[in-house]
């Protein structure tokens, strides 16, 4: 479903949520496209649900880019932004801050005029270089 949404409906597609217990896939999208029809055609027989989203995945990615670009500004304002990413339901973005407070969420939401969910977290190192063992030749 992500492939269909991202490739053909980038302005509407927000994300998907799988509910394994219920056996359903919920596709979050902004209204106003043929995305629902395309998903149904691509997944006949699947238990699908559709839910309206405030933002598309593309819009959330742009918002994440803005927030990450503003990390120095936010640090000066007392908010240590350590990462961000889109919410799969298309309602806004999640931001990792050192403190992770509701007050930070409110400030960020007001500044960007969008729903910002804040969680406490510190940056983590990315994967290290690939390990290639050497074997004695013998």
Q: What is the pLDDT of residues 11-21, one digit of tens each?
A: 999 999 999 99
Q: What is the pTM of this model?
A: 0.83
The per-residue DSSP string of 30-99 comes to -SSSSHHHHHHHHSTT--EEEEE-SS-HHHHHHHHHHHHHTHHHHHHTT--EEEEEE-TTSS-EEEEESS
Whole-angstrom CA distances from 107 to 7, 31, 53 are: 34, 28, 22
Q: What tens digit of pLDDT does each residue of 45-87 get?
A: 889 999 999 999 999 999 999 999 999 999 999 999 999 999 9
**CA–centroid distance for 135 within its chain:** 42
- Residue 137 pLDDT grade (very low, low, confident, very high; cuts 50, 70, 90): very low
Both structure tokens of 103: 């007050």
């Amino acid at each position: 479903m992500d492939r269909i949404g991202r490739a053909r409906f980038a302005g509407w597609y927000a994300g998907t949520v799988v509910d394994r217990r219920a056996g359903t896939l919920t596709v979050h999208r902004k209204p106003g496209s043929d995305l629902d029809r395309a998903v149904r055609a691509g997944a006949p027989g699947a238990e699908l649900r559709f839910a309206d989203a405030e933002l598309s995945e593309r819009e959330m990615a742009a918002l994440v880019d803005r927030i990450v670009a503003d990390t120095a500004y936010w640090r000066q304002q007392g908010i240590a932004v350590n990462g961000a990413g889109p919410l799969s339901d298309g309602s806004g973005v999640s931001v990792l801050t050192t403190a992770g407070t509701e007050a930070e969420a409110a400030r960020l939401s007001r500044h960007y005029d969008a729903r910002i969910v804040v969680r406490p977290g510190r940056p983590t190192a990315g994967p290290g270089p690939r390990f290639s063992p050497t074997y004695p030749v013998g």
